[in-house]
A and B are shown apart, each in its own frame.
Chain A
Amino acid sequence: MEGEILKGHLDMIVLAALSERPAHGYAVIEEIRRRSAGAFDLPEGTIYPVLHRLQQAGLLASHWVTADSGRRRRVYALTKRGERALAKQRAVWDQFSGAIGGLLGGGRLSQNPA
């Protein structure tokens, strides 16, 4: 999928990837690939500035654990604020995609366009 389309939605994608369970950076990338059926194949390193920025915004929290390999690993999880932000973004996206779908599908516009 085109990188520029992805860029504008990366925050929402990362929040959604962490919505089910806490995960470290590599697992977040893998979760995004899995749930998008390979449509979103990001350069893996780009996930880390996003994770740090969302943590600065209070949407994620992180803590260090020791992985099975013995390496120190940083695990991220949604905060309550992050859950609310994700729910809000989901609602906006549903409305937006519904409107676009209506236009591209050639059907009538909904009563409440985005």
Chain B
Amino acid sequence: MRREVEDHLWEAVAADATGGGLEAERRAVASFGDPRVIATQFAVVSLGTQARRASVSALVVITAVAIAMQARLSWYAATQWPAVSTMATFGAMVASIDRYAFWLAVLVGISAWVYIDRRRIPAAFTEEYRRQLRRFRLLSSVAAGALAASVISDGVLTSLRLLSARSSVETLLPLFSMAVELACAGALVFSLLHMRQRAASIG
């Protein structure tokens, strides 16, 4: 944006009837308009763009969590790592929560993306657009919450598995994949909080 504005101002100075100089620069800046008004108009575009990016990021994060989960399960199968039998009932319950929470995150995440992608960014921050962004943030929050529940469930299930770990090397991939899941979920929550803060500051 800065490069565009600089190019514009220099071109305006070059086109000035006086041929340049401080007076021409002053006129070019005055003709450009009130920077606060322009910044407010830009803020709406920026917020709309941020919302769209956040919706795509959410789907990328959900995919990354799914890959991490699958990597862990494949590792358990490859190393023939048994589950702890004494906690089987509890483990099955947590696995159910994990599964449903994950698919809820997928469903609501896709809904949030479709919703915001179909909304045209308006010229000004209208009440209607505020409502649309609030609905989008609500959908994204539900997706993030469901993903967090899934990641926490994964953490519990991984902890149960680690009880029967035969060596410290065996635990490396499960721990690494959990770190990836936690980082992804954390990044998603952070980006949603940041977007909410920006929307509040535009007012």
> A100 near B: Cβ within 8 Å?
no
> B8 near A: Cβ within 8 Å?
yes
* B31 pairs with A11, CB closer than 8 A: no
Contact of A46 among B6, B41, B48 (CB under 8 A): B41
A-B contact count (CB 8 A): 76
* A72 pairs with B44, CB closer than 8 A: no
> B34 near A: Cβ within 8 Å?
yes
**Quick one: which of B8, B12, B123 has the most chain A CB within 10 A?**
B8
- B38-57 CB contacts (< 8 Å) to partner A: 38, 41-42, 44-45, 48-49, 52
> B190 near A: Cβ within 8 Å?
no
* B120 pairs with A57, CB closer than 8 A: yes
Contact of B7 among A11, A45, A49, A71 (CB under 8 A): A71
> B22 near A: Cβ within 8 Å?
no
Q: In the bound complex, what is the Cα–Cα distance between A46 and B12 (angstroms)?
A: 15
Q: How many residues of B contact A (CB 8 A)?
A: 28
* A56 pairs with B7, CB closer than 8 A: no
Could you mark each residue 61-74 of chain A with 1 if its beta carbon is under 8 Å from any beta carbon of chain B, else 0? 00000010101111
> A48 near B: Cβ within 8 Å?
yes
**Quick one: which of B14, B35, B41 has the most chain A CB within 10 A?**
B41
Q: Chain B: residues with CB nearer than 8 A to chain A?
A: 1, 3-8, 10-12, 14, 31-35, 37-38, 41-42, 44-45, 48-49, 52, 120-121, 123
